[in-house]
Amino acid sequence: MPVQLSAAEIGTFLEEVFPQVDGDFIIEKVAENAARVRLVTADKHLRPGGTISGPSMFALADVAAYIVTLAMIGREALAVTTNCSIDFMRKPAAGKDLIAEATLLKLGRQLAVTDVRIRSDGSDQLVARAGLTYALPPRPAGDAVKA
């Protein structure tokens, strides 16, 4: 299945349905079953010790998974997270944005499964890795895709 929404179209949609995250995330790329999303870090994302907080990294993983899912299924506000497992692997670099690479592993009629790898901008080392599952609203039969 080809990409249903561009990065710009997803950005506009997120502004409509999730205005609370406006300015926090930049959709750098969407492709078939893939997305690259940047968390623009600020003081509000820090925890004691001057590093990016776990909840901020979780939010990036969740938003990246939502974006890659929307890219493939179109405008669907009611796709919701049903599971997330995240491994925090090392301290993110201070003062750097975080970059998430999301890969849609499976897109069915009811569920979407995504792998998200998070790095500090400019680094090849993972700071976190997450697996997320999204529940999808009912869609017409035959609309399932094997990623």
pLDDT, tens digit only, all 147 positions of the chain: 789 999 999 999 999 999 988 889 999 999 999 999 999 998 888 888 888 999 999 999 999 999 999 999 999 999 999 999 999 999 998 789 999 999 999 999 999 999 999 999 999 999 999 999 999 998 666 555 544
CA 104 to chain centre: 10
Go through 34-70 and write b for each residue having 16 or more CB atoms within 10 A of its CB, e for each that does not. bbbbbbebeeebeeeeebbbeebbbbbbbbbbbbbbb
Inter-residue contact 7 to 27 (CB < 8 Å) = yes
CA 114 to chain centre: 9
* Confidence (pLDDT) at 134: 97
pTM here is: 0.92
Structural domains of the chain, ranges and CATH numbers in brackets:
7-135 (3.10.129.10)
Q: How far apart are CA 118 and CA 125, in angstroms?
A: 9
Tokens of 13: 């949609």
* Confidence (pLDDT) at 146: 43
